[in-house]
Amino acid sequence: MQNKNIVYQIYPKSFLDTSNNGYGDLNGIIKKLDYIEFLGVDFIWITPFYNSPQRDNGYDVSDYCSIDPLLGTMDDFDNLLKEAKKRNIKIMIDMVLNHTSIDHEWFQKALAGNSKYQDYYILKDTTTNWVSKFGGSTWKWEDALDKYYLHLFDTSQADLNWENQDVIKEIYNILNFWAKKGVNGFRFDVINLIGKPDVFTDSNDDDGRKYYTDNPKTLSYLQDLGRNVLDKYDLLTVGEMSSTTIEACEKYLDSNNKCLDNIFQFHHLKADYQEQYKWSVNYFNRDNLKNILANWQDKMANQNFSMALFWSNHDQPRIANRFFSDSDFITTKAKMFAIMQYMFSGVLYIYQGEEIGMTNAVRSSIDEFTDIESINFYNENISTTSKEDLILALNQKSRDNARTPMQWDDSSNCGFSTIEPWILPNGNYKEINVEKQLNDQDSVLNFYRNIFSLRKKYDVITNGSFELVDSISELFIYKKLLNDDELLVITNISDESFLASNYFDINNWEILLNNYPSLNKEIEPYMGLVLIKKKG
């Protein structure tokens, strides 16, 4: 059953440094395969490790069939495949096919005047008023081309022209190269942005995204990809969908369309965006979060479309203190949020460090940030907003929060490296680290392992139908149903207590999971409970 899969995402640069250069590497992943096996996951998804100028940490690829020397060699990768296979761990890799780095040979040949390669990109004589995902215009003038090129992300990430059959052939070759090597899955970066409109026009009511998000061409590109490449192999595929809709995702996941197995949508992670603004501070719309989660379970999972369930990735603030930035009940909250979503139907995607409840870092100066989106945001706003306000927003929302080194133990540099890492470790690594949690039965780590084994054991968790139970704003309560199994999941998204007997009769239920040592009369602050109906 596909939904039994649990995927553990690794950001290699920040996982484990074995070459002592301050950057994590592929050998670091090999070294931690026993830990990954111990977690009980099926897949690791490794974010881009290909040659790259690293302006966007590898999402700016300059050679798709290579390994960046910063992170290792092709032999290391082959070894990783072999060692992972020994432990029954499958490998999913990241494909960034909406754009290439401008350092890529194709772009370089285009610059040198080769018209074949100029047609690999989206070059125009005039611009539109679209705004890049990382700020500024989506168009950059290039003298050598005597044209503007489109970049939905950084200026160094030029969008590829999927209308061009030569580009499609290159993409097939890349996917075949890795699939033949033996990788077991692909995560496709911003894949719902690859279809561009026939005519490029200004937008007067958004940043231009309505013209290129879920463009109908994308579905047919993905169908071709499915038919011509992906279907030839046994793969788990997941597409990252930026600002998507339920209607579009139904199409991508419809088995008749032969596109993708899972989709990542991000609407639930915008519950802390005030009026759609990413950088808003101290804002969390609890009702919004509940509605979005319930709606996607109802419209997608209940229709047998397989969602990717996730709270975290390398672009997102840490869930442990994302919606509540204070440190009270921090461990309880980390476990409560896990219960809230990980009893849903779908495939679980966990991000490194989430399983130990890693938190957002506290930084005091822009010099401590490395992420291009964060730095652009700061530079764009520093003339109108105080430094303190910008740093506060960055501390809550920056992508760097997810990118601090994995906290292995309490030794210097958190056991990640013997030298100062490329990005500062979170200051709390002495309190929060793997070593400390391994032998603590109540740790977030062992709680996550427990969730994983429950998902393996109970089909009602991974495949049951979802039913929202009417409740008050503070509580999110739902049932999962499959055959004669019934699960009741209760999470308290507040620091108040509620009389448990108002919501269920404990005599009828057995407790499968509780983030408190015991259940008394009350649903306690930030409590999370998973109950299964007693039979007979």
Catalytic residue, chosen from 142, 240, 272, 315, is 240
Rounded Cα–Cα distance for residues 275 and 171 (Å): 38
Size of the site for ligand TEU (CB under 6 A): 14
Among residues 96 and 394, whose Cβ is nearest to ligand TEU?
Answer: 96
Question: 190, 289, 301, 308: which one contacts ligand TEU (CB under 6 A)?
Answer: 190
* Residue 283 CB contacts under 8 Å (≥ 6 apart), including other chains: 272, 273, 274
Catalytic residue, chosen from 42, 189, 261, 315, is 189
Among residues 96 and 340, whose Cβ is nearest to ligand TEU?
Answer: 96
Rounded Cα–Cα distance for residues 265 and 267 (Å): 6
CA 436 to the chain's CA centroid: 26
Residue 378: CB minimum distance to ligand TEU, A: 14
Among residues 142 and 315, whose Cβ is nearest to ligand TEU?
Answer: 315
Among residues 369 and 509, whose Cβ is nearest to ligand TEU?
Answer: 369
Question: 49, 59, 121, 416: which one contacts ligand TEU (CB under 6 A)?
Answer: 59
CA distance to 475, 496, 497, 526, per residue, from 502 (Å): 12, 15, 12, 17
- Token match 């979802």: residue? 466
Among residues 391 and 523, whose Cβ is nearest to ligand TEU?
Answer: 391
Angle of helix 387-397 versus helix 372-381 axis, rounded to 10? 160
492 neighbors 527 (Cβ within 8 angstroms): yes
Compose the 143-182 pattern: x for residues touching ligand TEU by CB under 6 A, - for all others: ----------x-----------------------------
CA distance to 63, 297, 358, 453, 455, per residue, from 308 (Å): 28, 11, 21, 18, 14
Compose the 420-459 pattern: x for residues touching ligand TEU by CB under 6 A, - for all others: ----------------------------------------
How buried is 516 (Cβ within 10 angstroms: 0-12 exposed, 13-18 middle, 19+ buried)? middle
Among residues 385 and 508, whose Cβ is nearest to ligand TEU?
Answer: 385
Residue 369: CB minimum distance to ligand TEU, A: 14
SS (H, E, C) 327-379: CCCHHHHHHHHHHHHHCCCCEEEEECCHHHCCCCCCCCCHHHCCCHHHHHHHH
Rounded Cα–Cα distance for residues 265 and 216 (Å): 18
- Kindly state the DSSP code that residue 255 receives in the 8-state scheme: G
The tokens for 33 are 């395969």
> What part of residues 197-256 is at the interface with ligand TEU (CB under 6 A)?
240, 242
Among residues 241 and 500, whose Cβ is nearest to ligand TEU?
Answer: 241
49 neighbors 68 (Cβ within 8 angstroms): yes
User: Under the criterion CB under 6 A, does residue 400 sit at the interface with ligand TEU?
Assistant: no
Residue 193: CB minimum distance to ligand TEU, A: 8
How many CB atoms are located within 10 Å of the residue 28 CB? 24
User: Under the criterion CB under 6 A, does residue 96 sit at the interface with ligand TEU?
Assistant: yes
Question: 25, 76, 189, 261: which one contacts ligand TEU (CB under 6 A)?
Answer: 189
Among residues 243 and 463, whose Cβ is nearest to ligand TEU?
Answer: 243
Residue 79: CB minimum distance to ligand TEU, A: 26
Among residues 121 and 526, whose Cβ is nearest to ligand TEU?
Answer: 121
Residue 296: CB minimum distance to ligand TEU, A: 18
Question: 82, 87, 227, 278: which one contacts ligand TEU (CB under 6 A)?
Answer: 278
Residue 94: CB minimum distance to ligand TEU, A: 8
The tokens for 56 are 């966007």
* Residue 517 CB contacts under 8 Å (≥ 6 apart), including other chains: 442
* Residue 450 CB contacts under 8 Å (≥ 6 apart), including other chains: 513
SS3 category, 402 = helix
SS3 category, 39 = helix
Residue 111: CB minimum distance to ligand TEU, A: 21
In sequence order, the β-bridge partners of residue 46 are 10, 93
118 neighbors 145 (Cβ within 8 angstroms): yes
User: Under the criterion CB under 6 A, does residue 25 sit at the interface with ligand TEU?
Assistant: no
Residue 7: CB minimum distance to ligand TEU, A: 15
SS3 category, 103 = coil
Number of helices followed by number of strands (H, E) in the chain = 16, 20
Q: Is 240 a catalytic residue?
A: yes
> What part of residues 117-146 is at the interface with ligand TEU (CB under 6 A)?
133
Question: 17, 42, 56, 159: which one contacts ligand TEU (CB under 6 A)?
Answer: 56
> What part of residues 338-377 is at the interface with ligand TEU (CB under 6 A)?
373
Give the helix/strand (H/E) hosting 482. Answer: strand 475-482
446 neighbors 455 (Cβ within 8 angstroms): no
Residue 56: CB minimum distance to ligand TEU, A: 5
Residue 260: CB minimum distance to ligand TEU, A: 16
Question: 214, 315, 400, 486: which one contacts ligand TEU (CB under 6 A)?
Answer: 315
Among residues 13 and 480, whose Cβ is nearest to ligand TEU?
Answer: 13
Residues identified as active-site: 189, 240
Residues that bind ligand TEU (CB under 6 A): 56, 59, 96, 133, 153, 189-190, 240, 242, 278, 314-315, 373, 399
